[in-house]
Chains A and B, each alone.
Chain A
Amino acid sequence: MIEANSLYGPLDPAPDAGWTDAPPRMGFFTDTSVCIGCKACEVACKEWNGVPDSGFDLLGMSYDNTGALTANSWRHVAFIEQPRPAGHRTPPFEGNPTGPAASPASAATAAGTGTDTGTNPGLPPGRPDAATRMAAGPEFLGMPGSEPPGRATGAESRTDFRWLMMSDVCKHCTHAACLDVCPTGSLFRTEFGTVVVQEDICNGCGYCISACPYGVIDQRKGDGRAWKCTLCYDRLGAGMTPACAQACPTESIQFGPLDELRERAAARVAQLHDRGVPEARLYGHDPTDGVGGDGAFFLLLDEPEVYGLPPDPVVTTRDLPKMWKRAGLAALAMAAAAVAAFVGGAS
């Protein structure tokens, strides 16, 4: 039975995808407030899943030399250097003779840097116009993100400083556009409610790539197929924890039944608010958001854009049901005819 909100709105996706007696929906809660940016998740993922290397280039985006989630990086640790207070903490550079956030010269060089490393995704290109302006004095360049240091800092003093780290991963959306648009059935919803590309089915058509509202899924060069986090489907089947979550030294990546994780996350946010970290907020936890909530959600310490996440992702197939109402019956009739032809021919 197709539920009214099979493509939009709150839903338990595994039963909706035909899994009877499905286990509870499993997912990740990534608490960035305890992430130490060690990248154990990146390595453990690659080791378990046999993911190829993603390039040997210094990107200069703080300690991030991975760049983004790609076909060859299913976990990506973002590093954000910000001249901002971190909770109740004492400002790290209070009393030091730090100038403005960046000297005109270094702000200009940082803004102008854009060496092409050949890596895709690599370092965002430099901005010569900004570099010219900054040479006269540093200025705020807009929304900070995973940018080289100096680019995102403003003219205010850098007495205060924080270094945000966040391990990003496929969100395993409740309403996964990649899955909805996959014409081969390669992408499918597992009994755990996760979204997995089946490498034996994928033909590399690439529809899923443009459908993903987070820009997660990606085609592997030389292979052509689409690859992304499977939430270690093979390990889950054996009752094991995904490789990244098992490795994570500080329990920044937590794995478990999504319901439990959501409760834990809410409690953690409340605790952080109590401890003077009002900026703590959840991202991707809300079943009523544009993707019906994520199977992998996050506790962030700033706006999602700062981490390179879309602020308000919407499943790109949201309007599909309307179209289906018109096209669906015809398609169904044709499929039924095809089956009848097989049965008939073999008797």
Chain B
Amino acid sequence: MAEAHPVGFQWVMEAKRRGAKVFHVDPRFTRTSALADTYLPIRAGTDIALLGGIVRHILENELDFREYVLAYTNAATVVSEEFVDTEDLDGLFSGYDPKTQTYGQRSWQYAGHEKNSGDRDTHKERETAAGLRHESHGMPVGGQVQRDETLQHPRCVYQLLKRHFSRYTPEMVERTCGIPQDKFLELARAWTENSGRERTGVLIYSVGWTQHSVGVQYIRTGAIIQLLLGNMGRPGGGVLALRGHASIQGSTDIPTLFNLLPGYLPMPHYIDHTSFTDWVDSIRHPGQKGFWDGARAFGASLLKAYWGDAATPENDFCYGYLPRMTGDHGTYQTVLNMIDGKVRGYFLLGQNPAVGSAHGKAQRLGMANLDWLVVRDLFMIESATFWKNSPEVETGEIVPEECRTEVFFLPAASHVEKEGTFTQTQRLLQWREKALDPPADARSELWFFYHLGRIIRQKLAASDKARDRAVRDLTWDYPTHGDLVEPSAEAVLREINGYEVATGRPLSAFTEARDDGSTAIGCWIYTGVYADGVNQAARRKPGRDQDWVAAEWGWAWPANRRILYNRASADPEGQPWSERKKYVWWDADRGEWTGYDVPDFEKKKAPTYRPPEGATGVEGLAGDDAFIMQGDGKGWLYVPTGLQDGPMPTHYEPAESPMRNPLYGQQANPTRKVYDNPVNSVNPSPPQPHTDVFPYVFTVSRLTEHHTAGGMSRMVPRLAELQPEMFVEVSPELAGEVGLDHLGWAHLISGRAAIEAKVLVTDRLTPLRLDGRVIHQVWLPYHFGREGIVTGDSVNDLFGITLDPNVLIQESKVGTCDIRPGRRPTGPALLELVDDYRRRAGLVGGRPPIVTTDASEREVG
């Protein structure tokens, strides 16, 4: 956190000053470790084993916050008797289909609910990254559930969890993660001792956690701990994601993602969502509890915002205009399609996949096989110059004279040259004022897309083709201003907020959304950001003039709420768990919820409220159902539906690992997404042969001095001089073993590429002892490329493409490699070197063969 989010780290230092104890877990000793009380070096890719050990420590010693757990989680809920755990299937859950490598989830359901959501096509859900939809509105579960308040029922979630994690002992943590038992116990004790009524503990992760083939389950394990310890919905608690880009939260809320529409509404699927009603019912699940009941109004209002007058209740609000998904249309599938010649044109908008995405060669080969490419950026990045300056040009794989891709480079406006909102990591929207006009041809994305749309609409004005009606009917009349004819960002924000169609009055809350065409809302979770016609994101009441919640600085979705599920900061009766930790509570005299924050609960619903028989939607939530977006109002320790790879997190080895999974026969995530494509390959892991070819683990992350793929730091002299060269950090032990010189060169080889870097021999890296073996890890920054003031090879070239099955994010925080002293060869000799390694590793391209031996050596997917 000190490394990548230094200014956020001031609050950790503030907590430390007040006596908080800080633990830091990282494969390498970073600037954060330097300030932490205890540092735990860990083998990259084993976080579930560590966190699972904590879960076990809590459950075996009954250290959970029992009142909280009983009231607010599904610990007491009884699960189907059809469910079989990994304990009995050597690392698989019941329902696995080796043919599709997905689970049928019927057996995972709550008892009596097997038919509810058990028959869905999980293969299809994986293809469309369906898990992403749950970011705002949780997962559905219907009807009444069977509960055992004593937590003794052998199939209640509490007991299932206890059994599932029983093998995550301190010894196992040590064998899997390389973390000595004493240190593990120090962490476990500190975490549990600092949670409860009077105290809360917080778990903070950087989003490298998502870049694993089990990324979603990492975060799930963290959530289980925080729920068991009563740290959710309370001040000083939670699971906090440190996101690494100014508005990456906004980029999922108002997504430019293939499977989502604004506000986490799914992009329609050609089979599941043939009609408007099919589509909204798949979100709201008629007859079930919770707040997603308004989906019909949100969907109708979005279409109304898109197609205005043309969108009417009679024509299902032009629902038919929406394109349909048939499967995986994610960025990695798309790049492979580019290589296969299926994609004509590609826009890159402030993004540099030639350096920033996994498998750089695949990225560049894809771009070299387009008709045209539009790059919009501040700087001439590697993704714009792949045709003249790339490793493939050196090796002869891309020949400029033979590369047909037409490239347009359009300069972009910087953040000070345009106005608009970023949504930062705590869901807070902050408006930026414009300081000055962009120089020369530089323009904002708002300008580019508004005018591109305007020109396209002109060209199609006379078209009578059915497909063009969606373009011609689009509301595209944003006011413009100034010499540059810049569209008004405030007008767009107003549309995002939503308005009453008849009067134009901006809406104040998403509860005003209607499904009759009388409201238009661009992104329902942002409704309120323009309440009363005022740009709430532009509020800047100084922090020192407000209380510590600072509710009048910017605007947070939903409804300017700063802590989600904050109903859980009060006990079931509505009183604060403790005076120290009071946040939101029930004011019985006034008959409403009150507190420092906007209560995340119906304002007037008393803690004692119990839903009438058969109540659905919001009405179905009881006065102590704190997790209002979940179908049963509970925080989920066990996830009966919505996840691809299991209802409970399970340690699987990374797709590339030098280790056999110490916990189960199943080596890696059996549902991980792997592309069968000649350009892609996965280095062998046990029990496959030839794992000694790539004996070392490499992991990558950021330096304080640089930013992501380097487009905003390698081009900036002040930053470039601070970390001027690509390097690899190795321990003195590994340097001795391999013969690496400090400040000398080394090259690293994987099945995809070979790159070179300067060597930093440092005590900050340590070998790990696991299962009687010593494992060496090396660390590299992923900021470098061939353009800019300071240059170097890109470490993401070493990675192949293996994805998390829930969200289709690639595993790019851990892989295996070899490291040798000296520089890498150049030209065709470079390809020969990689080929030689591939030959020795038995890689023939594509997916490694499925190895099925006896149970102890099983690797199914």
- Please say whether the chains A and B touch (CB closer than 8 A): yes
B37 to chain A, nearest CB (A): 6
Residue of B nearest to A271 (CB): B17
Q: How far is the CA of A206 from the CA of B6 in the complex (A)?
A: 38
Within 8 Å of chain A (Cβ to Cβ): is B72?
Answer: no
Pick the interface stretch among A11-19, A41-49, A188-196, A217-225: A41-49
B736-761 near A? 1/0 per residue, CB < 8 Å: 11011111100000000000001011
Contact assessment for A105 and B10 in the assembled complex, using a CB-CB cutoff below 8 Å = no
Are A62 and B762 CB-contacts (below 8 A) given A38-B704, A43-B719? yes
B375-408 near A? 1/0 per residue, CB < 8 Å: 0000000000000000000000000000000000
Q: How far is the CA of A60 from the CA of B721 in the complex (A)?
A: 13
Among B37, B727, B768, the residue within 8 A (CB) of A96 is B768
Interface size class of A (residues with CB under 8 A): 35 or more
Within 8 Å of chain A (Cβ to Cβ): is B732?
Answer: yes
- Contact partners of A97 in chain B: CB under 8 A: 733, 766-769, 774
B710-726 near A? 1/0 per residue, CB < 8 Å: 00000001111111110
Residue of B nearest to A123 (CB): B743
- Contact partners of A60 in chain B: CB under 8 A: 742-743, 758, 760
Within 8 Å of chain A (Cβ to Cβ): is B822?
Answer: no
Contact assessment for B7 and A163 in the assembled complex, using a CB-CB cutoff below 8 Å = no
Pick the interface stretch among B28-36, B526-534, B605-613: B28-36
Instruction: Give residues 67-117 of A contacting B (CB, 8 Å).
Output: 81, 83, 88-90, 92-99, 101-107, 109-110, 113, 115
Within 8 Å of chain B (Cβ to Cβ): is A230?
Answer: no
Residue of B nearest to A60 (CB): B743
Residue of B nearest to A55 (CB): B721
Residue of B nearest to A100 (CB): B732
- Contact partners of A148 in chain B: CB under 8 A: 742-743, 761
Within 8 Å of chain B (Cβ to Cβ): is A251?
Answer: yes
Interface size class of B (residues with CB under 8 A): 35 or more
Are A106 and B725 CB-contacts (below 8 A) given A56-B790, A149-B742? no
Contact assessment for A36 and B29 in the assembled complex, using a CB-CB cutoff below 8 Å = no
- Contact partners of A163 in chain B: CB under 8 A: 29, 31, 33-34, 764
Among B31, B37, B758, the residue within 8 A (CB) of A36 is B31
Q: How far is the CA of A324 from the CA of B108 in the complex (A)?
A: 93
Q: How far is the CA of A274 from the CA of B731 in the complex (A)?
A: 34
Q: How far is the CA of A103 from the CA of B13 in the complex (A)?
A: 35
A295-324 near B? 1/0 per residue, CB < 8 Å: 000000000000000000000000000000
Within 8 Å of chain B (Cβ to Cβ): is A127?
Answer: no
Q: How far is the CA of A96 from the CA of B733 in the complex (A)?
A: 12
Among A62, A96, A105, the residue within 8 A (CB) of B736 is A105
Are A113 and B742 CB-contacts (below 8 A) given A250-B10, A251-B10? yes
Within 8 Å of chain B (Cβ to Cβ): is A58?
Answer: yes
Are A58 and B725 CB-contacts (below 8 A) given A36-B2, A109-B761, A249-B6? yes
A243 to chain B, nearest CB (A): 12
Among A55, A62, A96, the residue within 8 A (CB) of B180 is A96
In the complex, number of A-B residue pairs with CB atoms less than 8 Å apart: 187
- Contact partners of A34 in chain B: CB under 8 A: 13, 35
Contact assessment for B6 and A90 in the assembled complex, using a CB-CB cutoff below 8 Å = no
Within 8 Å of chain B (Cβ to Cβ): is A174?
Answer: no
- Contact partners of B29 in chain A: CB under 8 A: 92, 161, 163
B22 to chain A, nearest CB (A): 10
Within 8 Å of chain A (Cβ to Cβ): is B464?
Answer: no
A149 to chain B, nearest CB (A): 5
Residue of B nearest to A39 (CB): B722
Contact assessment for A56 and B33 in the assembled complex, using a CB-CB cutoff below 8 Å = no
Within 8 Å of chain A (Cβ to Cβ): is B847?
Answer: no
A63 to chain B, nearest CB (A): 8
Instruction: Give residues 750-795 of B contacting A (CB, 8 Å).
Output: 758, 760-764, 766-769, 774, 789-790
A111 to chain B, nearest CB (A): 9
Q: How far is the CA of A90 from the CA of B41 in the complex (A)?
A: 12
B501-532 near A? 1/0 per residue, CB < 8 Å: 00000000000000000000000000000000
Within 8 Å of chain B (Cβ to Cβ): is A65?
Answer: yes
Within 8 Å of chain A (Cβ to Cβ): is B262?
Answer: no
Residue of B nearest to A52 (CB): B717
Contact assessment for A115 and B178 in the assembled complex, using a CB-CB cutoff below 8 Å = no
B9 to chain A, nearest CB (A): 6
- Contact partners of A42 in chain B: CB under 8 A: 722
Q: How far is the CA of A81 from the CA of B511 in the complex (A)?
A: 57
Within 8 Å of chain B (Cβ to Cβ): is A25?
Answer: no
A10 to chain B, nearest CB (A): 32
Are A65 and B763 CB-contacts (below 8 A) given A56-B789, A89-B38, A163-B29? no
- Contact partners of B769 in chain A: CB under 8 A: 96-97
- Contact partners of B737 in chain A: CB under 8 A: 103
Residue of B nearest to A43 (CB): B718
- Contact partners of A46 in chain B: CB under 8 A: 718
Contact assessment for A90 and B742 in the assembled complex, using a CB-CB cutoff below 8 Å = no
- Contact partners of A38 in chain B: CB under 8 A: 2, 6, 31, 704
Are A153 and B763 CB-contacts (below 8 A) given A65-B721, A89-B37, A103-B733? yes
Q: How far is the CA of A115 from the CA of B180 in the complex (A)?
A: 38
- Contact partners of B764 in chain A: CB under 8 A: 81, 149, 161, 163
Q: How far is the CA of A83 from the CA of B762 in the complex (A)?
A: 11
Within 8 Å of chain B (Cβ to Cβ): is A175?
Answer: no
- Contact partners of B39 in chain A: CB under 8 A: 90, 92
- Contact partners of B10 in chain A: CB under 8 A: 249-251
Are A109 and B735 CB-contacts (below 8 A) given A96-B769, A150-B761, A249-B10? yes
From A55, A103, A158, name the one whose CB has the most chain B CB atoms within 10 angstroms: A103
Instruction: Give residues 142-188 of B contacting A (CB, 8 Å).
Output: 178, 180-183, 186
Contact assessment for A106 and B763 in the assembled complex, using a CB-CB cutoff below 8 Å = no
Contact assessment for A162 and B717 in the assembled complex, using a CB-CB cutoff below 8 Å = no
Contact assessment for B760 and A47 in the assembled complex, using a CB-CB cutoff below 8 Å = no
A196 to chain B, nearest CB (A): 23
B72 to chain A, nearest CB (A): 33
- Contact partners of B789 in chain A: CB under 8 A: 56
Within 8 Å of chain A (Cβ to Cβ): is B857?
Answer: no
A62 to chain B, nearest CB (A): 7
Residue of A nearest to B719 (CB): A43
Q: How far is the CA of A105 from the CA of B767 in the complex (A)?
A: 16
- Contact partners of B181 in chain A: CB under 8 A: 95
- Contact partners of A167 in chain B: CB under 8 A: none
Residue of A nearest to B774 (CB): A97
Contact assessment for B722 and A90 in the assembled complex, using a CB-CB cutoff below 8 Å = no
Within 8 Å of chain A (Cβ to Cβ): is B705?
Answer: yes
Within 8 Å of chain B (Cβ to Cβ): is A66?
Answer: yes
- Contact partners of A62 in chain B: CB under 8 A: 762
Instruction: Give residues 438-481 of B contacting A (CB, 8 Å).
Output: none
B220 to chain A, nearest CB (A): 28
B654 to chain A, nearest CB (A): 20
Among B37, B741, B742, B766, the residue within 8 A (CB) of A93 is B766
Contact assessment for A149 and B762 in the assembled complex, using a CB-CB cutoff below 8 Å = yes
Contact assessment for B721 and A250 in the assembled complex, using a CB-CB cutoff below 8 Å = no
From B9, B731, B767, name the one whose CB has the most chain A CB atoms within 10 angstroms: B731
From B724, B761, B766, name the one whose CB has the most chain A CB atoms within 10 angstroms: B761
Q: How far is the CA of A88 from the CA of B705 in the complex (A)?
A: 30
- Contact partners of A115 in chain B: CB under 8 A: 743
Q: How far is the CA of A185 from the CA of B711 in the complex (A)?
A: 45
Are A149 and B760 CB-contacts (below 8 A) given A97-B769, A249-B9? yes
Are A37 and B31 CB-contacts (below 8 A) given A83-B763, A113-B742, A161-B764? yes
- Contact partners of B35 in chain A: CB under 8 A: 34, 36
A329 to chain B, nearest CB (A): 52
A-B contacts, 7 listed (Cβ < 8 Å):
A38-B6, A53-B718, A96-B767, A103-B737, A110-B742, A164-B34, A251-B10
18 other A-B residue contacts (CB within 8 Å) besides A63-B723, A65-B723, A103-B737 = A36-B2, A53-B721, A62-B762, A65-B724, A88-B37, A89-B38, A92-B39, A93-B766, A97-B769, A98-B731, A99-B732, A110-B742, A149-B742, A150-B732, A150-B763, A153-B763, A158-B763, A250-B6
What 5 A-B pairs have minimum CB-CB distances, sorted nearest first? A95-B180, A103-B736, A58-B725, A106-B735, A163-B34
